Amino acid sequence: MERDGVEGKDFLGRGFRSGFVSIVGRPNVGKSTLLNCLLKEKVAIVSDKPQTTRNTIKGILTSEGYQVVFLDTPGIHKPRDEINRVMVRMALSTLQEVDLVLFVVEPDDRLGKGDEYIGKMLEEVKTPVFVLINKMDRVSQAERPERIQRQGELYPERPLFPISALKGEGVTAVLDEVVKELPEGHPYFPENQYTDQPLRFLSAEIIREKAFQFTGEEVPYAVAVEIVSYKEGSQGPSGLVAIEANLHVERSSQKGILIGKGGQMLKKIGTAARKDLEALIGAKVFLKLWVKVSKGWRNDPKRLWNLGYR
């Protein structure tokens, strides 16, 4: 991981802190929701389906005395195909390279195999680890002490933080402790930058999020989004951004579901994506989508590389 700082300002000697923090956990525990909550910006897409995050997303939080670079990683799970193996490798590769790890779990009353697997891996790294018990808004006040105590037994000697990333509860306390763990140093990014991801990547992620949101259990995991063209001011009035994208699926039946009767599903996905894209880019967006069948793309390393899963 490159750690070149931003030149032009003398931050050392003033107690300025900066560093990298990895957010890890099982799929669907709320890692992306936590990142967006910390940044107060939508950087990572979210859905109620596991394995929504497929790439490591950097979110940058800068304040007067610190800069935290959060790495939102894909959920760690037992991979069944090549894309899932790539996702797990991406998540695990961050553990030794960061200054702190935020291990996000749910307030379960027992230790699942996924959490047990991640917990054992974290025992082998020297990086400090905070355990964040997310989704506490789903637990009654009467049950909370017992659930927190149970997580303390599962992860002894790890600082525990009960939070609700969805509601923002307890997140400020986590951030305060995160900053204390960071070393003094220069910021790595300009103070007004909140992600290092290009607009093309973020555009593809937003389109994929809508496909996750509006289609059933099978289709979302077979969808990959490829931005074919991204042009500013190329259509209509000045400032309009024209985006063309391919939605790749693995079977003709999935293509039919994604397009929908009379093209209604694809129109629904496009309309919702365009609204989010306009909010992200700050300009009117002309969005055109196609659906293509790319058989076996999830198990084709070359195709995965071309689609950005590296």
Identify whether the C-beta of residue 132 lies closer than 8 Å to the C-beta of residue 52. Answer: no
Cα separation, 191 vs 80, in Å, equals 40
pTM of the model: 0.73
Per-residue pLDDT of the chain (310 residues; tens, 9 = 90+): 555 555 545 554 468 999 999 898 888 889 889 998 999 887 775 655 445 555 677 889 999 899 999 988 776 655 566 666 666 666 667 777 889 999 999 987 666 777 777 787 788 888 899 999 999 999 999 999 988 988 888 888 899 999 999 999 999 999 999 999 999 999 999 988 888 888 888 899 899 889 988 987 667 678 889 999 998 874 444 578 999 999 999 999 999 999 999 999 999 999 999 999 998 888 899 999 999 999 988 788 888 877 776 6
Task: List Cα–Cα distances, 133 to 117, 130, 158, 160, in angstroms.
Answer: 17, 10, 12, 7
Handedness of CA 131, 135, 137, 143 (dihedral sign): negative
Strand blocks (E) in the chain: 17-25, 57-62, 66-72, 100-105, 129-133, 160-162, 224-232, 241-249, 285-293
| Coil/strand/helix, residue 184 | strand
In the chain, the amino acid numbered 249 is V
Distance between CA atoms of 202 and 193, rounded to whole angstroms? Answer: 14
Q: How far apart are the first and last CA of the chain?
A: 15
**Ordered structural domains, the chain, with CATH:** 17-181 (3.40.50.300), 199-306 (3.30.300.20)
CB 28 within 8 A of CB 104: no
